[in-house]
Structure 1
Amino acid sequence: MKRVSRSAVTYPRKRAVTACQICRLRKTKCDNNRPSCSFCLSSGRVCVYDDSQVDQSKFDPASLAILSQINVVLSELNTVSSKLDGTSASNGGKRVIANPYSLNAAPGVTNMEHVLAWPIYDDVEGIRSLTYDYREHDDKLLETPMLMDVVDRTKVPELVQQFFHYVHTKNPICNVRVTEHYANEISQTGFGWNFESCIILLICALGAIAGPAKSEQDRLIATAYFVEARKRIAFVKHNTLQAAQCYFFCGMFRMYNIQPVIAWQEFHQACLILRTFLLMKDDNSDGSKVNGQSEPKSERRSSTTRHGYTMSVEQRLFWSSLKSETELSLELCFPTSGLANIKYPDLFPSPPTEEEGEIDEKAWFFYLTELMLRRTTDNVINAFYCCEPSEWLTTPTRDLIDSVKVFEGRLEDCKKSIASSLQFHYGATPGDELTYVTKGRFVDAYEYLYRPLVYCAMHGSPDPALRPYVDKYVYYVTTWSDTLADVHRHHGTWYYIRFICRVMVVLMGLVKAQVLDRLPVDLDTLMTRCNLLLSRWEGESPDLSAIKDILNTLWMTVSEQSLSPETVRSNPSSV
């Protein structure tokens, strides 16, 4: 198995007169010392100049290629946002452009509920709200009768390894060696009432439920470990990285159980704790004490605490928590914690240190790609969705298309830059989960990107310039149709189902508005597959049952307008 290379890479440096990124964020004078300015050196922070970007000795060439594409995407955002901002202002609207270097997409008109509010569906009866009080439904998980002997300490090492295989590869927020040490100790001595036992119980819960072909019995076993962990979370010191890590894993477990609202509460709590922790750390930046002794500031950020929290663990916990909260806030239209407004000095997470244990190379590339695509998608959302859809109609079509083209180029560059082990073809089904999820992230970004033009084609006057982008939308969003029935329980199951249903609503709107004269797949077949998928999962989340009813109501209104399918998909580059 390939591992991330830690070999040093040297690069020529040029003297710059501009401040480092941290001093620019702080708006303070920078002395431009290399490789680290005086402030970064004294505070133990990673000093980053624009001509060096990151501490490149920590990254292998493939990681550097991914990070360079992030910088290209971010540099283009200001141009696109400024253009759209000026157009919106001329129409009396307002836009809020978030910090492009963070993961910060403000909840707007992005989710399925807002698509259902499009004027094309004004004459359809039976569309109802998807807003529920999930608490009664979600709390049933903790009411399941359990026997304490289900929690078996001898199974801990096995469950921890399952966690590393199925969960840690996607969110590497813990120290592998420290976690294995805790697991071995607990397997011999049993569980206590402390952080170590709480975190291992959560990891065991995730290890028991994660992976394909899991039974209901596996889910009950996972729930037993989770319930025991929740009893101990009060014993974890608040406003610490340990507490944030526990709540993050709680949020992940809730997502595995299709409990989005309570998952948001858990992720939100993790972000609030991180925000407080970082603010408190900044307040103590003049020095700290360990065991009554003053600790040098330059050592404090690089040292490993007794719980294994290196700076790279902190970085990954920060970005994973922020990413998870952002994604749920977009779908649920819930407020965010404000963690994105923290001027976090480390723009990218560093690979695990040798002390933590190595991570699989492909998994690390996947994690960087996830962050890159989340940033890119958030930038698309902040550029196009911080307004009502009606403003898309009042924006000149050419301006919208020009802005879309910029992001198209960035997404194409992003795809070229990802590691070879994660490369895929849109017309084919990837053979492994990480590549499959990567493909889904790109498709999601394209769906957000082309949707404003699809709206204009549905509701505005006919414009031939829009048709190629409608075709591109249909091409990309239907690439999932061949694997629709193969969805198993994982962290993103709920997101995936919501994405599919949102896309179905848009496709039926295109048929209803008579924008399309052909479809790349049979819409009737897609509807059948969606019903099968929703029937499988509707008992676990109340919104999925409501979505199923709504989709069938819409289908009744458009089924007679269903069009003959075009059996061969066209490549979007040719439309």
Structure 2
Amino acid sequence: MGDGPTDEGTGSGLPKRQPPSASANEYPRKRAAIACELCRLRKTRCDNVRPTCSLCRQAGAVCKYTTASDATPVTYEPQPSALLERLNYAISLLERPSNRSPSPTANPATTGELGVPRDAIFAECMLSWSVLQGFGSANSSSLLWSGCCVPEVEKKNTGMNTPSTGVPSEAEILPSINPHDFVALVQRYLSLVHVKNPILDIDRLQQTTRRVVEEGCAWDGGTALVLLACALAVLVTELEDTHNAEDNWTMSGRDLPSDRETADVYYMEARKRLGLLDLSLEAAQCQFLCGIYEMCRLRVVEAWSHYQQAAMVTQMLLLQRMHRAELPIEPKPLERLYYSCLRTHNHFQIQAPLPLNTLSYITLPNPFPSPPLDFGLDAEMLPPYWMVEGGDSAAFRLRNVRGWFYYLAEISALRTSTRIIRTLYSHEETWWLDHIVEVVQQVRIFEEEANSWFDHLPATVRWAADAPRTELTTILYFRTLNVKTMLFHPMLYFAIHQRTDHPQWGEAAALAAKGLEACAAMILFNGKTQWRHGGLWFVLRSLFRNALSILAAVRSGRFDCSDNWMSLIELAITNLSIWELEALDVLRMRKVLDQILVDTRNSSQKRSANKVKVVWP
């Protein structure tokens, strides 16, 4: 006699539960309506109104749904046992070795809109190539972090200038701040820095400057912005035409025309006020200007930290405004700060293996930032850029208008480089060898797009060989060359590492030669200037990568390079040596190039029957 269940039933007289039938392995469950992307990001309740929900309509934001319609069909979910069986099957597929790789047209896994590239995009990865092995670490973070947390003994041994810690010693005699210089310095900031990053309101900045001159430095965000503007005005240098100054690039790093000590005093006074600011637009603007200042001083990790904070505050303000449109947040400066943060995000993504922000998750309704005023001018009706002279209000306005055309062109180039990264650099380098046909097709499409972008630039910001150089035209021309070197880089890898009898080798090598010509043009174009600006470190990184590309081509023996390739490498080394006393990673980049150049000179390079002619500029 037992208490357990029997064949007829249970001890309580209840009938025995029947075993589940085969058809019962699945049961219907209607999926709940999915909120729009913005409401999901903000974790707020969405009313699922199509095409635009109530919250997105109030905030004026773009409303996107991941599902096709509200009438979500009934789906059938398997039992847990069936789910486990499918998971085990999926795990077995992942553990099984496979040589297949996704095609370049497939959307790679990305974090945010801009995507996260593989290490193949970083210059250090080239040191793992067969022709460059043994000259340095191929770790993508090796050079960047070499300048961080460096012992003082090593800094003294290398002759580096120790960066300011913000706390002067008793023996230091620091320059004093004269408030009567603020107006002139702020005007210089507007002419040299603001035109490239118009994140501030000009009228408000000038009003705050006059208030600070009359009443003294307060402990608020406006005063911090004025001090940061003065610090940048003192630190940055102005690009001058150097077409006929062949000896200009022989200066040493100690003779650079920039008053770093005075700039540091302004910067330290501004940083004292950052901790007193709340999460506001002024706080985000201050953090962004701090990032520019640190980049001018070649302190990359510190700059990245400030840019990250600026992006986080900007993201918070955008989400607040989308949720509550009545908040007193000025939309145009916030919009411009958003695009400036995205542009900086892209530059770091290409050059530095650092964690990036999630600001790109937010998509603004306008594809371009709105200008602060109505220009009332056609870009083609503006006078040529070399004809704008003088310091009167008309010339100042024309420079700002020209700066806005430059700013919009930069954002347009940002989108092109982003698509290149997501298409070509979301895989390892060996992936290029297996999918060369698709890669060549994509490269030709992007080449046509890059050429079209440059050809359609307004004449007021388009570089011309027969005209004097200006800052804005120089940056955009450099951006064009940089996009091309990044675009043709996979072709160089294929031409060096693939057999020359491969059916696609000739076409890929011809495209690689175009990339090498762009590398040489960048070195020549930049190698005669000592221009301190917010993008200086990115330029030095590009020069390092360009020089490595030329050395790899020469050492491979598969490219017929002209005899002046050594002078190109020496010019890149000279440019790096100008700044090596301020950044240890720049010093080590120069040493790597020195070692490879000496070894290449002393060794007889192997020759290949198939060689591609490279014509230097």
Structure 2: how far apart are the matches of 1:513 and 1:312?
52
State the percentage of identical aligned residues.
Answer: 24
Structure 1: how far apart are the matches of 2:613 and 2:350?
34
Q: Residue 192 in 1 paired to residue 218 in 2?
A: yes
Partner of 2:59: 43
Partner of 2:346: 326
Report the alpha carbon displacement of residue 149 of structure 1 after superposing the two structures with TM.
Answer: 6.1
User: Cα 1:451–1:127, aligned 2, differ >3 Å: closer, same or farther?
Assistant: closer
Listed as ranges, the matches of 1:57-456 within 5 Å are 88-89=101-102, 95-97=108-110, 102-106=113-117, 108-122=119-133, 124=135, 129-130=142-143, 131-132=145-146, 134-135=148-149, 139-144=163-168, 150-212=176-238, 218-238=259-279, 240-282=280-322, 284-285=323-324, 297=325, 300=326, 305=328, 310-353=330-373, 360-395=400-435, 397-425=436-464, 431-456=469-494
Partner of 2:590: 548
Could you report, residue by residue, the CA deviation over 1:310-349 in whole angstroms, capped at 9, with x for unpaired residues?
3111111011012213322432201112111123333320
Structure 1: how far apart are the matches of 2:215 and 2:224?
15
Residues 127 and 135 of structure 2 are in contact (CA less than 8 Å); yes or no, is this contact kept in structure 1?
no
Could you report, residue by residue, the CA deviation over 1:201-221 in whole angstroms, capped at 9, with x for unpaired residues?
111111111223895662211
**Aligned partner of residue 279 in structure 1, secondary structure:** helix
User: Cα 1:95–1:534, aligned 2, differ >3 Å: closer, same or farther?
Assistant: same
| Aligned counterpart in structure 2 of residue 500 of structure 1, from 543, 549, 573 | 543
Report the alpha carbon displacement of residue 21 of structure 1 after superposing the two structures with TM.
Answer: 12
Structure 2: how far apart are the matches of 1:338 and 1:23?
16
Structure 1: how far apart are the matches of 2:278 and 2:227?
17
User: Cα 1:190–1:90, aligned 2, differ >3 Å: closer, same or farther?
Assistant: closer
User: Cα 1:456–1:567, aligned 2, differ >3 Å: closer, same or farther?
Assistant: closer
Report the alpha carbon displacement of residue 431 of structure 1 after superposing the two structures with TM.
Answer: 1.7
Residues 463 and 469 of structure 2 are in contact (CA less than 8 Å); yes or no, is this contact kept in structure 1?
no
Could you report, residue by residue, the CA deviation over 1:91-123 in whole angstroms, capped at 9, with x for unpaired residues?
9x9932566xx5555464211111222233235
Which segment drifts farther, 207-216 or 454-463? 207-216
Residues 103 and 340 of structure 1 are in contact (CA less than 8 Å); yes or no, is this contact kept in structure 2?
yes
User: Cα 1:408–1:541, aligned 2, differ >3 Å: closer, same or farther?
Assistant: same
Partner of 1:83: none
Structure 1 regions of 5+ residues with no counterpart?
1-19, 49-85, 286-296
Report the alpha carbon displacement of residue 148 of structure 1 after superposing the two structures with TM.
Answer: 7.0
Partner of 1:513: 556
The aligned amino acid for 1:113 is E
Structure 1: how far apart are the matches of 2:208 and 2:115?
35
Which segment drifts farther, 249-258 or 413-422? 413-422
**Aligned partner of residue 478 in structure 1, secondary structure:** helix
Report the alpha carbon displacement of residue 241 of structure 1 after superposing the two structures with TM.
Answer: 1.5
Which segment drifts farther, 261-270 or 102-111? 102-111
User: Cα 1:402–1:174, aligned 2, differ >3 Å: closer, same or farther?
Assistant: same
- Give aligned pairs, total: 482
Report the alpha carbon displacement of residue 41 of structure 1 after superposing the two structures with TM.
Answer: 5.8
Report the alpha carbon displacement of residue 432 of structure 1 after superposing the two structures with TM.
Answer: 1.1
Partner of 1:524: 566
User: Cα 1:439–1:124, aligned 2, differ >3 Å: closer, same or farther?
Assistant: same
**Aligned partner of residue 120 in structure 1, secondary structure:** coil
| Aligned counterpart in structure 2 of residue 460 of structure 1, from 485, 491, 498 | 498
User: Cα 1:361–1:465, aligned 2, differ >3 Å: closer, same or farther?
Assistant: same
Structure 2: how far apart are the matches of 1:322 and 1:90?
27
Report the alpha carbon displacement of residue 254 of structure 1 after superposing the two structures with TM.
Answer: 0.3
Structure 2: how far apart are the matches of 1:392 and 1:350?
40
Which segment drifts farther, 466-475 or 168-177? 466-475
Residues 115 and 421 of structure 2 are in contact (CA less than 8 Å); yes or no, is this contact kept in structure 1?
no
Could you report, residue by residue, the CA deviation over 1:172-219 in whole angstroms, capped at 9, with x for unpaired residues?
000000000000010111101111111111111111112238956622
Partner of 1:5: none
The aligned amino acid for 1:469 is L
Residues 164 and 264 of structure 2 are in contact (CA less than 8 Å); yes or no, is this contact kept in structure 1?
no
Moved over 6 A (4+): 20-27, 37-40, 125-128
Structure 1: how far apart are the matches of 2:586 and 2:549?
17
Partner of 1:487: 530
Structure 1: how far apart are the matches of 2:138 and 2:531?
28
The aligned amino acid for 1:158 is A
Partner of 1:66: none
TM-score by length of 1: 0.75
Structure 2: how far apart are the matches of 1:24 and 1:103?
20
Could you report, residue by residue, the CA deviation over 1:468-487 in whole angstroms, capped at 9, with x for unpaired residues?
10221122221134341213
Structure 2: how far apart are the matches of 1:178 and 1:94?
44
Structure 1: how far apart are the matches of 2:606 and 2:130?
22
Report the alpha carbon displacement of residue 528 of structure 1 after superposing the two structures with TM.
Answer: 1.9
Structure 1: how far apart are the matches of 2:257 and 2:336?
32
Residues 136 and 592 of structure 2 are in contact (CA less than 8 Å); yes or no, is this contact kept in structure 1?
no
Structure 2: how far apart are the matches of 1:530 and 1:155?
37
User: Cα 1:439–1:21, aligned 2, differ >3 Å: closer, same or farther?
Assistant: farther
The aligned amino acid for 1:362 is R
**Aligned partner of residue 558 in structure 1, secondary structure:** helix
Structure 2: how far apart are the matches of 1:27 and 1:373?
38
Report the alpha carbon displacement of residue 132 of structure 1 after superposing the two structures with TM.
Answer: 2.0
Structure 1: how far apart are the matches of 2:291 and 2:468?
28
Structure 1: how far apart are the matches of 2:558 and 2:235?
44
User: Cα 1:29–1:412, aligned 2, differ >3 Å: closer, same or farther?
Assistant: farther
Which segment drifts farther, 310-319 or 428-437? 428-437
Structure 2: how far apart are the matches of 1:459 and 1:487?
36
User: Cα 1:41–1:429, aligned 2, differ >3 Å: closer, same or farther?
Assistant: same
User: Cα 1:203–1:126, aligned 2, differ >3 Å: closer, same or farther?
Assistant: closer
The aligned amino acid for 1:142 is G
The aligned amino acid for 2:262 is I
Residues 127 and 134 of structure 2 are in contact (CA less than 8 Å); yes or no, is this contact kept in structure 1?
no
Report the alpha carbon displacement of residue 525 of structure 1 after superposing the two structures with TM.
Answer: 0.8
Residues 120 and 509 of structure 1 are in contact (CA less than 8 Å); yes or no, is this contact kept in structure 2?
yes
The aligned amino acid for 2:533 is H
Residues 322 and 340 of structure 1 are in contact (CA less than 8 Å); yes or no, is this contact kept in structure 2?
yes
User: Cα 1:378–1:90, aligned 2, differ >3 Å: closer, same or farther?
Assistant: closer
**Aligned partner of residue 229 in structure 1, secondary structure:** helix
Report the alpha carbon displacement of residue 448 of structure 1 after superposing the two structures with TM.
Answer: 0.8
TM-score by length of 2: 0.71
Residues 288 and 306 of structure 2 are in contact (CA less than 8 Å); yes or no, is this contact kept in structure 1?
yes
User: Cα 1:339–1:90, aligned 2, differ >3 Å: closer, same or farther?
Assistant: closer
User: Cα 1:232–1:147, aligned 2, differ >3 Å: closer, same or farther?
Assistant: farther
